[in-house]
Structure 1
């Protein structure tokens, strides 16, 4: 089983292209790698956490529409900046909050956990199976030639992102399109996932303190998913942001 040092070495190689920071200088990504997870189906603890997230989301939506929630609005602006239509391709946070009234999905205890944390902290949060990942995570503006392994009409297909689209990728192709819109099939979390990498995406007005709090909450809950769980984390931000600290 990899050690926390091995996980840290991988995360330290994470790269965000300067072109992404040119698009949004306020962007920050907190990556959390974890190994030693014990897989399991949805359980009572996960259900309780999802119910808490659903209640929190419903309360927020009594005060304003989902598209006006501050962090959702910031991501809608970011999508428009690289040519995506936010009403057609909603960021993962907005998509989850819109489902909260009818009930968030119950998938397995790992997916349930990170979906709940995403809604509770109002932050886009994606998870990838680290065993199926190739190399370190990279966030780039696509050339349009990067393969994306997905499903259409129930059949597996390879798609390609639009030129200039912001995508997460590894050495084998795109792992998540449109920053945090749709994850690929190749690295998706499965019922037997024991190691994973999670990406928490933040824009202003979310503060770095709020981003770290979301990461701490996720990490604390991941550590409960097995007796030998190890974690590591890495924050990526622009040079300008580091100079301000």
Structure 2
């Protein structure tokens, strides 16, 4: 049995944060998704790129409220130089007229949600995890190799990250995913995360996890093992019942 555990060190920094979790199981492999569904997902992604423009009221990326709250959040823990929230990176592309493109149906679906709601969304392969996944401040030196990189880049002391028993899974909270637990074309179980640090956007978060689970069910024929919002009062959930 695997769990997602949010540690006290996280809540001490972000007591009002809310984290939406969707666990999808028995997903279609990428090659099994019908071409018409692939096309529809790509169309939804193009539409989400256009919808994201409503969140951009300033041409200066840091002055947009959905980005500013994350700039402030990233000041509360140790980060690698230049690390930014994942939603800032997506919205920056929209702002520059370089829309977020298609990667594969699974990644496209969570990018659709991220762009539409201007919330950071990520995904990991549950079967690739070693033990529980934990979110908290680390003492550093957790093993980590980022997607697209060959050189290992361990975590820093005081960094906030997702990690399991083998090392870091995502560095600087939601900045960079690692290659070890990244979703693959043949992944069966996905741990999908949507993060919110603005308590005024609680309803947006709820809508986002509802739509994410619907898209995973509709297009990837996934069974939704759980759909839940993590809070300080509800810090731990089971994400895989397998022994």
The TM-score, its normalising length taken from structure 1, stands at 0.84
1:14 partner SS: strand
Q: Which residue of 2 aligns with 1:6?
A: none
Q: Is contact 2:49-2:100 (8 Å) kept?
A: yes
In structure 1, the residue matched to 2:238 is none
SS in 1 for 2:48: helix
Is the aligned partner of 1:167 residue 2:167? no
Given that 2:155 and 2:171 are in contact with CA atoms closer than 8 Å, whether structure 1 keeps it comes out as yes
Contact 1:70–1:205 (8 Å) recurs in 2: no
Unaligned runs of 5+ in 2: 236-243
Q: How many residues align?
A: 228
Match 2:66 to one of 60, 68, 71:
71
The structural deviation recorded for 1:45 is 1.2
> TM-score, with normalisation over the residues of structure 2?
0.85
Contact 1:168 1:174 in 2 (8 A): yes
Superposed displacement of residue 124, structure 1: 0.6
Gaps of 5+ in 1: 1-8
Residue 119 of structure 2: aligned partner: 123
CA-based RMSD of the aligned residues comes to: 2.3
Cα shift readout 1:58-102 (whole Å, capped 9, x = no counterpart):
34325564323323211111111113378x212101101111221
User: Is 1:184 paired with 2:178?
Assistant: yes
Matched, 1:196 2:190: yes
Q: For residue 102 of structure 1, what is the aligned residue in structure 2?
A: 98
- Residue 24 (structure 2) pairs with residue 30 (structure 1): no
